[in-house]
Structure 1
Amino acid sequence: MIEIARRGVCLVLSAPSGAGKTAITDALLATEPALERSVSVTTRQPRAGEIDGVHYHFISETLFQAAITDGALLEWARVLRGTHAYGTPRAPVEAALEAGRDVVFDIDWQGHCALRQKLPGDVVSVFILPPDLATLELRLRRRAGDVAAEIERRMRVARDEISHWAEFDHVVVNDNLPAATEAVRAVLHAARLATVRQAELPRFVAGLA
């Protein structure tokens, strides 16, 4: 297949915890050579097994504030009542897009909104829904154990996340992981072929004459 030089795609996957976006992301990364994961910066300490530069870029609060001031983050947020901060570095994302590589993001609806404002022509987003809330609760229970208060908290957060589904370009219901993965892959492949994304298309078509 002839490949025409193109600009990369920002593929945003968002979902309530337990809907399967991490599994879908991992499956795509394992089979799409032109796709890479966006590595966020964070002010929290590394957890066991986490590697700086692979899972996150671990930085100080001072450096994080400087990145905000300098406009070096495409989106950022504070969690756990402001204890920790997370953000998406601008430079590596823009470099990937210019080189024709695609970047997948695992961010919430607020991050999606911020990213689209900064890179309006580059974002293609997919919201992953569970087949039903009972299935989602079962998945969360397996993660959190039987702590009722924690399950209730996570379900409240999940319902809030789900309420933003209409803000995304595409919606996939994950009742079958392989099928859901292929649906998201189809979105990615279609985005790559968008006319406006193929920078060398005019030259290629002119050469057909």
Structure 2
Amino acid sequence: MILLNSNAENIFWLGRYLMRTQYLCSVYPFLDDNEARDYAHAFCLPAFDASSLNELTLDAQHPISFISQFQYAQDNIMDLRGVLSARAYAELNKLIRNASENAGYICDVAADCQDVIEAESDAIFLFFSLGQCVENLDRQFRLNQDNQQTMAQLEQIAAALSALGWQGVIEALKELQSAPCSMQFYHFSDHIQTLFEADA
């Protein structure tokens, strides 16, 4: 399958939003005030302890909340109606509708949505995986987490993208690997965004 850059970008962001939701699910509820403050500081959130950060994650009006993140994912899925298989599109919409009706299902539904995407074409799964890796790397740099596994996954993805004609991805990744820091990550992320915008 040959994807338009705009469709590839939507799949990429779907991967990011679902991964972001799944990680938030894995650490919620925050119990340790110091860890909550570190998380809030890393993502520039107006929270000062575990309790206030937990409130933010449940506040439907706040961009960090489960509901907001899942809404972003839903918007990307709607834009992919002509790209995803009819079965996958219908299944994803059903899952999202269930989560919209009961926010308590969001964590389970986020994982189920990933399973649906992984069963789609190689091209769709490639850009979905790219989004997941970029999201993981963003978080890992912000929170000083180990990123070796993510870097290894990105090497495989960069090679696959290069085979599709995406220029400079391998070189941009090598620059990031040679100087792994937040600033270099942003350069890598900007390069990916530039490729999505090419011939837009």
Point out which structure has higher relative CO (alpha carbons under 8 A, 6+ apart): 1
| TM-score normalised over the length of structure 1 | 0.32
Max Rg structure:
1
| TM-score normalised over the length of structure 2 | 0.33
**More helix, by proportion:** 2
**More strand, by proportion:** 1
